[in-house]
Amino acid sequence: MITVKDKEIACYLLDALKFPYIKLGKHSKTLLGKLISIPAMDWRMYRAVKDFKPDLFLGLASVRAAHVASFLKKQCINFDDTENGVAELRLYLPFVSFVCTPSCYQKNLGAKQIRYDGYHELAYLHPSRFKPDPAVLNLLGVKSDEKYVIVRFVSWQAVHDIGHKGFSLAMKRKAVKEFAKYAKVFITSEGPLPKDLESFRLQIPAEKVHSALYYATLLFGESATMASESAVLATPAIYLDNEGRGYTDEEEKTYGLVFNFKESPEDQERSVQKGIEILKQDYASVKEVWRKKTQKLLQDKIDVTAWIENFINQALRP
């Protein structure tokens, strides 16, 4: 059984992939509202699953899965890769059986923590799981050797995003203007865009985004997940966040696949200049270099889905 928060495009993707699911409603956009809604979300989860009688709960840092599993005296395995998700961690950790994190996760969570040599993104983008669809190039209106950039802006409304602002509007405009001199620019944004940037919005089905990332020359933005997705797909990624992530740090320091920047005005400027530097290079040469880097990453890391399947089977054994 799949339960889902009505958040962004989650329901759209489940529909597109023909997975049945139960919608549990929306969380508030404020911290106080999110905290107040926890009992309501727990109750909705309980009502959704009580007749299904699950043996095991799985969640992505899911507070409600942890709470309801504990109430029903069932195991819960949570997956987490976000070190600054302190509020969620405090709310779910006492109630889970295990919390699975990448080996590069920068916190010690105690006896319940299970580390694995991979990233969340390798659960669905490992070469044994994902094959890019070249037809996406027709949807984008670009040629096979044509440079294009995917720019990602987030809404900064998650609990772990409180206090973050990301790129200023002026810097968003500058990045798009400068990148457009060397490549086509496509923006994917969680929030509304000003009129002058709206014409750059990415207009493809959401389930095609990973194929678009695979063929892109550059990913530039505020999403750690998309930066990591780009890394495992051999596309240069520029990621901006004051606190960063253990996995994007590793993808930069060990593999040279991601460039991490802070949110200061100076680093915002440096991130744009790094993007220009990459776009000025020959497309084929950049992709060849990045594929070699990604091959090293894939040699070091595991097929995360296979690992999860094995771990769940062990957890369910009598």
What are 131-189's pLDDT values in tens digits?
999 999 999 999 999 999 999 998 644 544 444 467 899 999 999 999 999 999 999 99
Residue 32, classified by CB atoms within 10 Å of its CB into exposed (0-12), middle (13-18) or buried (19+), is exposed
73-88 confidence digits (pLDDT tens)? 999 999 999 999 998 9
85-144 confidence digits (pLDDT tens)? 998 999 999 999 999 999 999 999 999 999 999 999 999 999 999 999 999 999 999 999
pTM, entire model: 0.93
Q: What is the mean pLDDT of the chain?
A: 93
For the cut 90, the answer to whether the pLDDT of residue 31 exceeds it is: no
The alpha carbon torsion through 14, 70, 115, 239 (nearest 10 deg) reads 50
Architecture of domain 3-125+302-316: 3-Layer(aba) Sandwich (3.40)
Question: For residues 234 and 290, what is the distance between their CA atoms, to the nearest angstrom?
Answer: 5
For the cut 90, the answer to whether the pLDDT of residue 33 exceeds it is: no
Domain boundaries in the chain? 3-125+302-316, 136-300
The CATH number of 136-300 is 3.40.50.2000
54-67 confidence digits (pLDDT tens)? 999 999 999 999 99
Q: Which two tokens stand for residue 12?
A: 């759209």
Q: Which residues contact 178 (CB under 8 A, 6 or more apart)?
A: 272, 275, 276
Share of the chain above pLDDT 70, in %: 95
